[in-house]
Amino acid sequence: MEYLIFPCESTVNFLSAGKFVSSSQWTHMKRTIDSIEVLIGVKGNIYIQEGDSKFTVKPGDILLLYPGRSHFGYEYSNTGDSFYWLHFVIHEDLEILSQTDFNPTITILKNNPFARINDDKIILPKFLSDVNVDRLTVLIHQLLHVYKTPYYTKKMADYITASLLIEITNEYLLKINKNSIKNLNSKLVLILNWIKINAGNDFKIEKMARELSYNKDYLARYFKKNMGMSIKEYLLLLRLNSAKKFIFETNMSIKEIAYKVGFNDYNYFIKVFKKQEGITPAQFRNTYFNLHYNNS
């Protein structure tokens, strides 16, 4: 495994981005580029070889392609397979380190299941699998909107690109620390998984407490102490993130999306969505509707 590492204050210059959807059986052209490319799997399998290394990019996978290295498709993808792509450059202080050269030291913060490491560095692994891409999807759609809309300054795209890279770093650190989190607090992981699985259903804290064999009041206090928010607040966050993903990636109506992610009251969904985003779900969809479809 290799890692691309550079300071957070480095100048990130956005070049281009888009969503590729294969209209027939497709394989990536052979080429060598002078920028860094990020691929984020959306549907199906994308087969990319860089040098002697072969990668299969599945939904939720992230692959970095490095400048100056030849890459190409080594197998055909099927009709409808898709991925997001992003090209950017870093002009200074860029390091590519191997697994033997880079071994992150993880610090588990007391009462916090999330890892923190070198918060002045962006750390991008060569390949990252099975990532929660909800927040990345929101950022890349915002980036695509800025890319296709006249803006006062192109710096907006640079800022969103940097934010997206920091988000990938965060997902990487969460993933490599997953086993440590389980060992540290298996109870909390069990609770979080139960909420995630049942977030789209008619959610009842009483049912969760009963199925996990906890007292309801104890469960509520324990969750608030360890997560810094209530179960209701966390559930709302999960549902809104899911809603934004459906708004971006489907043609479902806003009402259908509301019910699908667990809101039985459509008007309440509109209210909480607007409170978080500052605009209604329909306005959110119209604001970030621009997608740039072409080769990566």
**What are the pLDDT tens digits along the chain (296 aa)?**
788 888 878 889 999 999 999 989 999 999 999 999 999 999 999 999 999 999 999 999 999 999 999 999 999 999 999 999 999 998 776 677 776 555 554 333 333 434 344 457 788 899 999 888 888 888 888 888 888 777 666 788 999 999 999 889 888 877 766 655 555 567 777 888 888 888 888 888 888 888 888 899 998 998 888 777 889 888 888 888 888 888 877 888 999 999 999 998 999 999 999 888 888 888 888 776 555 455 55
- Is the domain of 113 the same as that of 172? yes
- Is the domain of 153 the same as that of 216? no
Domain boundary among 179, 201, 230: 179
27 in a structural domain: yes
Looking at the structure of the chain, the number of domains it has is: 2
- Is the domain of 149 the same as that of 233? no
What is the reported pTM? 0.66
- Is the domain of 189 the same as that of 174? no
295 in a structural domain: no
Name the residue range of residue 60's domain. 2-179
293 in a structural domain: no
From the list 50, 127, 35, 141, the residue with the least C-alpha distance to 88 is 35
Q: What is the CATH number of the domain that holds 151?
A: 2.60.120.280
- Is the domain of 61 the same as that of 95? yes
Q: What is the CATH number of the domain that holds 255?
A: 1.10.10.60
Domain boundary among 141, 157, 179: 179
Tell me phi and psi for residue 218, to 5 degrees: -60, -45
Domain boundary among 159, 179, 199: 179
